[in-house]
Amino acid sequence: MNTVLVGSQWGDEGKGKIIDFLMETHDAVVRSQGGNNAGHTVEVGSEKFVLHLVPSGILRKGKLCLIGHGTVIDPGSLVKEIQGLESRGVKTLGRLFVSDRAHVVMPYHRHLDAGRETAAKGKMIGTTKRGIGPTYGDKIARTGLRMHDLLDEAALAEKIKERVKEVNQFCRLKGWETVSATRILKEYRAAAQILKPYITDTIAKVHELLEKKKSMLFEGAQGTFLDIDCGTYPYVTSSNTTSGGACTGSGLPPNQVHEVIGTLKAYTTRVGEGPFATESPELSDRLHEMGREFGATTGRARRCGWFDAVLVRFATRINGVTQLALTNLDGLDGVKEIRVCVAYKLAGKTLHYPPASIEALARCQPVYKKFPGWLSDTSGCQSFSDLPAQAREYLKALEKLSGAKLSIVSVGPRLPRPFSHEN
Ligand code: GDP
Ligand code: IMO
Ligand code: MG
């Protein structure tokens, strides 16, 4: 059975924790989009791991981990991540496979990402500055380098020289510092030496696993509203974070997807700029004071707000979500009155799905339904029936509003394990 897991909000829904749990029933895990802009947290006992590009399943012994061709790879950063895992006793060689077709993040992509953000002043996107947008830009413009280029020294030197020439013309135009092809080549050659044994045809691997009837978990990065097409454009990332991205970014045929799990928080968070109808400074302050909701990649404080069922309903619809996995219910433990946005009001009309334009979205007024808080600690609950009655009511309402079966509930970053209605 193959499962696609996506974020149903703006990322950071707790995908890492849910993936770690689901690895008990899957043989392999596959990343198919995004890059090291992702930060997936897995806490095991007293240890905390934050995975950026390496799939979260790497912490489970014997499981295969694939980084598919739809991702963008910063070789230096991937080397660091692999070495960090190895130094903590996590074996990667022979378990981790990196696509030879994936595009390479170059130093000038990071340069351009940061430069654009600085130049945008009041209109910045709030990117992670990992060079993700410019790398996907080059991919679409057909001027990018791919991982197989790292394996061919002569071709690599030629391609870097050619690209740097054009990049430097642009830098001069902007009055920015230029980049050195020689320095880049030296750095990328060194990284290539380390990555060589990992680089392979991951499409062939996916199909080998299909033939052997192994089950794969496709680990989505970011979330539905950061999707380049369906998100709050232009305040989005540069890949398809929705379920279709799992197929286009890995070679998995769409008819081999059996379940789509939508992960969501019991409230909403967002890092970076862009409209956020249910944002609540009070809820943000509360969660930050508890030491929660700081970005796993950049450390930035996440913006927090009430659960937005308009967004999640849309996410369920376009991803084909068959099951929901809800995390961070315990974040609402001390909240007296909890709000849920059930619809938007825009120019006298009631909307049940978000509008395309962010200007319209910014004008939407959330229609709230209020729920009484449970005002007790849920972090020790081990089953649905352990939860206070108000929490159960809250979850039932979210399930109905979101349009899919709620099958996993999580109340802590590590154990207790997530549970469902059935237990
Ligand atoms: P991801 O990007 O979707 O994998 O999510 P992140 O790792 O960026 O952020 C989720 C945060 O919530 C991490 O700090 C997790 O350890 C934490 N987390 C996940 N599930 C729960 C939960 O049920 N309760 C609490 N308290 N923390 C959780
Ligand atoms: P995970 O996988 C939350 C956001 C950035 C910014 C926008 C564009 O951990 O859920 P980018 O660097 O991708 O060009 O930035 O997307 N963003 C994320 N927000 N979680 C993520 O990943 C994110 N990856 C990118 O903050 O608003
Ligand atoms: Mg994250």
pLDDT at residue 122 in the model = 82
Residue whose C-alpha is closest to residue 307's, from 282, 276, 333, 285 = 276
Report pTM: 0.97
> Rounded to whole angstroms, how far apart are CA atoms 385 and 419?
10
> Rounded to whole angstroms, how far apart are CA atoms 147 and 75?
9
Percent of the chain at pLDDT exceeding 90: 93
Cβ atoms 327, 22 nearer than 8 A: no
Of the CA atoms within 13 Å of residue 14, those in its CB half-sphere come to: 31
Residue with tokens 């099951």: 323
3-state SS assignment for residue 334? coil
Q: For residue 173, tell me if it sits in a domain.
A: yes
* Burial state string for 29-62 with b = 16 or more CB within 10 A and e = fewer than 16: bbbbbbbbbbbbbbbeeeeebbbbbbbbbbbbee
The pLDDT of residue 231 is above 60: yes
- Amino acid identity, residue 381? C
Q: What is the mean pLDDT of residues 312-325?
A: 98
pLDDT at residue 125 in the model = 96
Residue whose C-alpha is closest to residue 268's, from 13, 92, 41 = 13
Q: For residue 81, tell me if it sits in a domain.
A: yes
Tens of pLDDT, residue by residue over 379-407, are: 999 999 999 999 999 999 999 999 999 99
- The 3-class SS string of 264-326 reads EECCEEECCCCCCCCECHHHHHHHHHCCCCECCCCCCECEEECEEHHHHHHHHHHHCCCEEEE
Q: For residue 423, tell me if it sits in a domain.
A: no
Question: Is 328 touching ligand 1 by the criterion CB < 6 Å?
Answer: yes
Cα angle 379, 380, 381; round to 5:
95
Query: Does residue 137 share a domain with residue 76?
Result: no
**pLDDT-based confidence at residue 416 (cuts at 50, 70, 90):** low
> Rounded to whole angstroms, how far apart are CA atoms 142 and 103?
10
Q: For residue 207, tell me if it sits in a domain.
A: yes
**pLDDT-based confidence at residue 422 (cuts at 50, 70, 90):** low
The pLDDT of residue 152 is above 80: yes
pLDDT at residue 278 in the model = 98
Residue 5 CA to ligand 3 center (angstroms) comes to 14
Query: Does residue 360 share a domain with residue 270?
Result: yes
Query: Does residue 133 share a domain with residue 211?
Result: no
> Rounded to whole angstroms, how far apart are CA atoms 167 and 267?
42
Of 195, 220, 249, the last residue of a domain is 195
Query: Does residue 348 share a domain with residue 218?
Result: no
Of 195, 216, 247, the last residue of a domain is 195
Of 164, 195, 226, the last residue of a domain is 195
Q: For residue 322, tell me if it sits in a domain.
A: yes
Query: Does residue 237 share a domain with residue 216?
Result: yes
Query: Does residue 202 share a domain with residue 72?
Result: yes
Q: For residue 316, tell me if it sits in a domain.
A: yes
Look at the chain and report how many structural domains it folds into. 3
Site to substitute for ligand 1 among 265, 300, 328, most atoms within 8 A of C-beta? 328
Provide the pairing of β-strand 337-346 with 349-351. antiparallel
Query: Does residue 177 share a domain with residue 112?
Result: yes
Q: What is the CATH number of the domain that holds 373?
A: 3.90.170.10
Site to substitute for ligand 2 among 9, 225, 226, most atoms within 8 A of C-beta? 226
Residue 200 CA to ligand 1 center (angstroms) comes to 31
Domain of 9 in residue numbering reads as 3-99+198-261
Which segment of 67-71, 115-119, 234-238 scores lowest on mean pLDDT?
115-119
Which amino acids bring their CB within 6 angstroms of ligand 2?
Answer: 7, 10-12, 37-40, 125-128, 130, 132-133, 221-223, 226, 237-238, 271-272, 296
Query: Does residue 117 share a domain with residue 17?
Result: no
Q: What is the CATH number of the domain that holds 161?
A: 1.10.300.10
Q: For residue 93, tell me if it sits in a domain.
A: yes
Tens of pLDDT, residue by residue over 135-146, are: 999 999 999 999
Q: For residue 188, tell me if it sits in a domain.
A: yes
* Mean pLDDT over each residue of the chain, to the nearest integer: 96
Query: Does residue 140 share a domain with residue 35?
Result: no
Judge if the upstream peptide bond of residue 416 is cis by omega within 30 degrees of 0: yes
Contacts of 204 (CB under 8 A, 6+ apart): none
The pLDDT of residue 417 is above 80: no
Tens of pLDDT, residue by residue over 160-212, are: 999 999 999 998 998 888 999 999 999 999 999 999 999 999 999 999 999 99
The pLDDT of residue 423 is above 80: no
Report the length, in residues, of the chain. Answer: 423
Query: Does residue 94 share a domain with residue 111?
Result: no
The order of strands in the sheet holding 405-409 is: 199-200, 96-99, 64-67, 28-31, 216-219, 3-7, 259-265, 323-327, 405-409
Q: What is the mean pLDDT of residues 9-23?
A: 96
Query: Does residue 311 share a domain with residue 212?
Result: no
Query: Does residue 273 share a domain with residue 221?
Result: no
Tens of pLDDT, residue by residue over 20-65, are: 999 999 999 999 999 999 999 999 889 999 999 999 999 999 999 9
